[in-house]
Amino acid sequence: MAPQRAVQLSLKKPTYAVCVVGVETYVDVYSDVPKGSVTFGISGSSGVEIFMVYDPARVTKPTGKTHWPLGAGVDVIVSVDTASKDLNDLKVKVSYFGQQEGGALGQSVLYLTGVDISLDVDMGRAGKVKKSQGDKKSWRWGPEGYGAVLLVNCDRDSLRSKGLDLTNTQLTSLDDLQDMSPMVLSCDGPDELFDNHKLILNVPFSDSKRVGVFCARGGNSLSDYKQVLGPQHLSYEVERQLGERKIGFYVEGFTFPDADFLGLVSLSVSLVDTKTLPEVPLFTDTVTFRVAPWIMTPNTQPPLELYVCSVVDLHGSNEKFLKDMSDLALKANCKLIICPRIENRNDRWIQDEMEFGYIEAPHKSFPVVFDSPRNRGLKDFPYKRILGPDFGYVTREIPFVGASGLDSFGNLDVSPPVTVDGKEYPLGRILIGSSFPKSGGRRMAKVVRDFLKAQQVQAPVELYSDWLSVGHVDEFLSFVPTSDQKGFRLLLASPSACLKLFQEKKEEGYGEAAQFDGLNHQVKRSINEMLADRRLRSNNLHAQKCIDWNREVLKRELGLTERDIVDIPQLFSLTGSYAKAFFPDMVNMVVLGKYLGIPKPFGPIINGRCCLEEKVRSLLEPLGLHCIFIDDYLSYHELLGEIHCGTNVRRKPFPFKWWHMVL
């Protein structure tokens, strides 16, 4: 029940009041009482519910011809369960009696008009609006939770529109309505009542820049819909037509949760009596929405589209690499999208430019690309080529200063679903590289970190990546799907595993087998030479310590054990105090289901096979994975990147509904 309002009675003339369905009205039977009255009786017409509130220890419920005592703390509450057909068609009569038997000393009459005013949304998260008299102001997480969901209307459904749909105050496409959350205003009652009462829809000032509302008038023309609430309109007087019982609205989100926005917005409707000055709100109904978070998808989700750039450099075009990506996508039954040079302006690092995710409400879901603040050759590609119908766009710009290398999205990853000390993360946890544990250094921009944290459903973990020259987490980790109970493995680059492998091969008599065999433009290094290189060993001891620090953080924050981690042999070299991959970095792979596109390491050839490739196959193929080694040496590795850096994958959303999370 909504909060009570009070009505005072009079012995001299009838009292008239509006009673909203579902709202209790307190009837003041004590304000005007005949002299000598000690008891009272009350009756109501059909359609009026009368409730007596009293203390049973002080008052005995009347029977027969007895009445309720005055002055014993007996209160009268009335309510109606349906809207009236006519004005004042419901009646409540109060009769007052003295100590002597006989007729009533006086009577008060209350005429009621029942009106059904209710603002309703998809509280039950079933994809449709149902009328509710529950707690609409609250929003609860969890499988037993409730509360409506709002999508940020960040796609562009009409090609005529120049920006995101949320920037339009006029509807540009009827399809855009599907991206909005429906809201229904019930306004049933006698038409005459609305001659001196009005309905006002309101948005709080603090929410007005975060939500917009369109009024629907049921036609199929764009002109049938107009924006009635938003940054320029904090209130709207509802234009109710004669006989109209329900009015439809569509609600859109303008902004994602962020450091200054928890994600909750509210809208309310008030029934206002215009006969009084100042005008008095008789009743207000409020609903609350939560803006859907932006959600990343991990490597364990099935791939839908593989993106790669066509580029030309001193070594020529990357046509062979594109062919290898095409073959890989075909095996994985994944669509390949090649970004042409005219659109990428010879910027091949498409993973660094953007990250694919999605937003979801019970009635609708669509992908949303997060455009990084790096702003290099590919800076226009997400907005100009990916933004479109049912494909949204979001970005965060860094104020005052430029982006660092750690602001590129090769430094942004997400784990598969995990459980940590009993706490479930059914959508995984976001991983970002930082300067921890050292003081100072590079760190992902605060505006990006704040945005990721504010989404709430994939609580971020900061790792140490500033030991690397480029500084991205994808240089030392990756996740791959498995068909066992765990469902995935964490792959970590491992200098110690590589040196151990090379030592084993030396002891087997293959010390003269050479790294970079088959590359004409690279000096070959035998296993013996690499093992004897003190500087290389020192560099990799440092790299291993940095990776081990991250290993412990990942085990702690993702609830992993050593059984969940696979060490992939890899060496690094240092320039100054920063590391880069000594040979193509195999964990920097693209994962398309069970097919892995792995940078070809050009390791020592033993018995006609690369010993590094063979080692990786022995580690991953028993897990049901297919290792496909692809030459990226000239086009990517020599430019301090690998396959993952030069590709991007849009993946299938999680089946789990984010609002079922328990936070």
C-alpha 171/C-alpha 215 separation (Å) is: 11
> Catalytic annotation on 474?
yes
Secondary structure string (H, E, C) spanning 101-167: CCCCCEEEEEEEEEEEEEEECCCCCCCCCCCCCCCCCCCCCCCCCCCEEECECCCCCCCCCCCCHHH
Q: Residue 618 carries which side chain, given as an amino acid letter?
A: S
Query: How far is the CA of 552 from the CAs of 293, 555, 561, in angstroms?
Result: 29, 5, 10
The residues, ordered by sequence, that sit 6+ positions from 543 with a Cβ below 8 Å of its Cβ are: 467, 493, 495, 572, 574, 579
> Catalytic annotation on 610?
no
* Residue recorded with tokens 């921009």: 445
> Catalytic annotation on 32?
no
Q: Which of 334, 498, 611, 645 is catalytic?
A: 645
Q: Which of 165, 347, 474, 567 is catalytic?
A: 474
Q: Which of 363, 472, 637, 644 is catalytic?
A: 472
C-alpha 238/C-alpha 221 separation (Å) is: 20
The residues, ordered by sequence, that sit 6+ positions from 96 with a Cβ below 8 Å of its Cβ are: 33, 34, 37, 39, 40, 70, 104, 105, 106, 107, 108
Q: Which of 165, 352, 407, 466 is catalytic?
A: 352
Alpha-carbon torsion (37, 40, 45, 48), positive or negative: positive
State residue 636 phi and psi, 5-degree precision.
Answer: -135, -55
Contact 189, 197 (CB under 8 A): no
**Which of left, alpha, beta for 159 (phi over 0: left; psi -120 to 50: alpha)?**
alpha
Nearest in space to 530 (alpha carbons), one of 504, 502, 509, 554: 502
What's the token pair of residue 444? Answer: 């992902």
Q: Residue 396 carries which side chain, given as an amino acid letter?
A: R
Contact 137, 119 (CB under 8 A): no
Contact 225, 213 (CB under 8 A): no
C-alpha 341/C-alpha 577 separation (Å) is: 34
Q: Which residues are catalytic?
A: 352, 472, 474, 645
